[in-house]
Amino acid sequence: MSTAAARVAALREQLARHDYRYYVLDDPEVPDAEYDRLMLELRALEAAHPELVSADSPTQRVSGKPGTEFDEVRHGVPMLSLDNAFADDDVVDFDRRVRERLKSTAEVEYCAEPKLDGLAISVRYERGEFVSTATRGDGTTGEDVSANARTIRSIPLRLRGDAPATVEIRGEVYMPFAGFRRLNAEAAAAGEKLFVNPRNAAAGALRQLDPAVTAKRPLAVYFYAAGEWRGGTEPDTQRRLLEQFNAWGLRTNPETRLVMGVAGCLAYYRALAARRESLAYQIDGVVYKVNRRADQDALGQVSRAPRWAVAHKFPADEALTTLRDVEFQVGRTGVLTPVARLEPVMVGGATVTNATLHNMDEIERKDVRIGDTVVIRRAGDVIPELVRSLPERRPRGAKRIVLPATCPVCGSAVAREEDEAAARCTGGFVCSAQRKESLRHFASRRALDIEGMGEKLIDQLVDRGMLATPADLFELKPEALAALERMGEKSADNVVAALERSKHTTLPRFLYALGIRDVGEATAASLAAHFGTLGALRAASVEQILEVPDVGPIIAAHVHGFFAAPANREVIERLQRSGVHWNEGPPVARAVGPLDGLTVVLTGTLASMTREQAGDALQAMGAKLGASVSKRTSYVVAGSDAGSKLKRAQELGIPVLDESGLAQLLRGERP
Ligand code: I6G
């Protein structure tokens, strides 16, 4: 496995974990910025290695891959995404690149719009008649949500006036704050679960299986771009495009303005940021688009984003609230994670009730006590974080947070190893929380991928004593499954069929599924490549395991210990007897190159080759590609219009190479 492939796997593993923590457990582990950083690195690697892009990569998810309930639709023209700018300087860089490419000395006219925090859709009209609506999906193929879209009043079923033979119109479905509050009030009155934020409520509404439910949800749309367009002439500016939309009876955002140059963009941004709270809907930034269509065409696009537009995001939102309590959740490997239970508070348009506190050290460091006023931060659609407490506002009687001596789930002793931040329940398989988490992990998509074996089903099976180890899964009888709550014969048969399908797997997946401590997808892949067969790995000594790239003494001890335990051996043997199998082969040699150990960041436009080509060549020689510049970066290769990364490299004193330096690297030299 190449270095790039291993890193891609490691990033996906981390992102999948963070997604799970955030979306499934509502118990995030890292701040948004860290999540964004991982995602950026993964995107850069995938851009440099298109062969590593897989449909299940988190970069491909966007608004989720098409579910089973909705048909897939291919967009006539792909739905692009936008590059993000966070700082003013990023906008300055964007504008400079635009002017350089257009060879324009004059200021460029931009069309500026609020960026709604909703869901992108594409509505197709033929001869003016509504034909279908699709979600963005992976940009090429989305889900057909036509039946639900038809229920949204701001999507006309027929365009007014003359319309082209075919036109796809892109926009954002959103739920205004007022509607969101009303919906949640109704849900609260009915004792139902509340929606976290308007965006999630809108997404849930659009993906309802019953359009009658969607119809009752207060959804609206603003349109902002065109996709496929056949017949008639396309307007020659973004502004005129929006006017054409209005003429057809399509809503466009009334806050849209034409602005001149970067100064105009930034002034628009500041003015809108100041009024953000008084808008009727949630926005997470503004979008600047080069106004002239001819200029847009001249600028073109890179990978999946136009060069003529950028999303300037608002900074993370913060809010104050009270820490009501801290509870400890038990994870798969027994780690106790403290979770802050908060007085509900709106942050960046979402109601936040939980935030992670990571571990006891973090609690100490932040000096957090129950009853404290705390700062909660949240950016865009990602993970809320407890930033700090305000000790100056500490009420009398604020309680210190103590690590429980026993596991809150099974009552076993809690141990905290010297030099380890994490505290763990020592109950192992006795602890039902660990058992459930292990089984969830075993069945999860990136492990054995047992469809339908979700959290609720596993909870029931464990609670009823029908399931204790992964080996029990394959001995479940359809009759027993059918007797469970919310199951029935058909679902039971589906689960049994999914179990049967999952039996054919790969060695890396199987090793990952076992849930050996600290063995994620990347390590599982390295172990599989190094040993080739399970038998060879099982028979390996700690020293032999240590020879695997990226495996240190701690992981080696965990792996060795896992296979030495008779109970684990028995589970594996039972799994194999049930028919779980994979292809085995000879060990795969790892490519070692002259640039092994170097991390290189590429930025700007290169004259001699594309960045992708340069990245491939560097990786083929053993270098790692970095997505951002840090102290660990070995070199930054800067092309002609390098921006913030070059600046960062200069700040950190990282060696910066031009194309002749790159050529040296590619000859295997280290300039
Ligand atoms: O995601 C988006 C939000 C808003 C957009 C967008 C937009 O214009 C106001 N425009 C384009 C061209 C794209 N995404 C690709």
Is the CB of 119 inside a 6 Å radius of any atom of ligand 1? no
Is the CB of 80 inside a 6 Å radius of any atom of ligand 1? yes
Mean pLDDT of 306-312: 97
**Domain identity same for 136 and 265:** yes
Contacts of 56 (CB under 8 A, 6+ apart): 65, 445, 446
**Domain identity same for 192 and 263:** yes
Contacts of 272 (CB under 8 A, 6+ apart): 114, 255, 283, 286
Mutate-to-test residue for ligand 1 from 172, 257, 259, highest number of ligand atoms within 8 A of CB: 172
**Domain identity same for 128 and 264:** yes
- The percent of residues above 90 in pLDDT, for the chain, comes to 52
The residue segments making up the domain with residue 608 are 599-666
Lowest mean pLDDT among 246-260, 297-311, 337-351: 337-351
pLDDT given at position 380: 54
CB-CB contact of 594 with 622 (8 Å): yes
Q: How confident is the model at residue 326 (pLDDT cuts 50, 70, 90)?
A: very high
Mutate-to-test residue for ligand 1 from 63, 82, 293, 381, highest number of ligand atoms within 8 A of CB: 82
645 is catalytic: no
Specify if 563 maps to a domain.
yes
pLDDT given at position 379: 60
Specify if 419 maps to a domain.
no
Q: CA-CA distance, 320 to 342, in Å (whole number)?
A: 10
Is the CB of 284 inside a 6 Å radius of any atom of ligand 1? no
The residue from 453, 481, 502 where one domain ends is 502
Q: Is 453 helix (H, G, I), strand (E, B) or coil?
A: coil
Is the CB of 62 inside a 6 Å radius of any atom of ligand 1? no
**Domain identity same for 633 and 647:** yes
Q: What is the CATH number of the domain that holds 357?
A: 2.40.50.140
**Domain identity same for 47 and 144:** no
**Domain identity same for 307 and 331:** no
Quick one: which of 571, 585, 613 has its CA closest to 467? 571
In this structure, what token pair is assigned to residue 434?
């660990």
Q: What is the CATH number of the domain that holds 649?
A: 3.40.50.10190
Q: Which of 65, 115, 399, 477 is catalytic?
A: 115
Specify if 588 maps to a domain.
no
Distance from the alpha carbon of residue 224 to the mean position of ligand 1, in angstroms: 7
**Domain identity same for 323 and 304:** no
Specify if 71 maps to a domain.
no
Atom of ligand 1 nearest to the CA of 222: 9
Q: What is the CATH number of the domain that holds 444?
A: 1.10.150.20
Mutate-to-test residue for ligand 1 from 223, 224, 265, highest number of ligand atoms within 8 A of CB: 224
Question: What is the overall mean pLDDT for the chain?
Answer: 88
Highest mean pLDDT among 9-13, 92-96, 185-189, 198-202: 92-96
Distance from the alpha carbon of residue 522 to the mean position of ligand 1, in angstroms: 35
Q: How many domains does the chain have?
A: 6
pLDDT given at position 24: 33
Atom of ligand 1 nearest to the CA of 287: 9
Mean pLDDT of 263-292: 94
Specify if 72 maps to a domain.
no
pLDDT given at position 44: 86
**Domain identity same for 299 and 392:** no
Q: What is the CATH number of the domain that holds 13?
A: 1.10.287.610
**Domain identity same for 93 and 40:** no
Distance from the alpha carbon of residue 144 to the mean position of ligand 1, in angstroms: 20
Mean pLDDT of 465-481: 93
Residue 147 in this model has a pLDDT that exceeds 60: yes
**Domain identity same for 238 and 332:** no
**Domain identity same for 48 and 149:** no
Specify if 373 maps to a domain.
yes
Is the CB of 330 inside a 6 Å radius of any atom of ligand 1? no
pLDDT given at position 231: 93
Angle, helices 32-48/611-620, rounded to nearest 10 degrees: 90
Long-range contacts (CB closer than 8 Å, 24 or more residues apart) made by 51-59:
52/4, 52/5, 52/8, 55/138, 56/445, 56/446, 57/8, 57/12, 58/12, 58/15, 58/16, 58/19
The residue from 292, 313, 334 where one domain ends is 313
Q: How confident is the model at residue 348 (pLDDT cuts 50, 70, 90)?
A: low
Is the CB of 225 inside a 6 Å radius of any atom of ligand 1? yes
**Domain identity same for 496 and 552:** no
The residue from 583, 615, 650 where one domain ends is 583
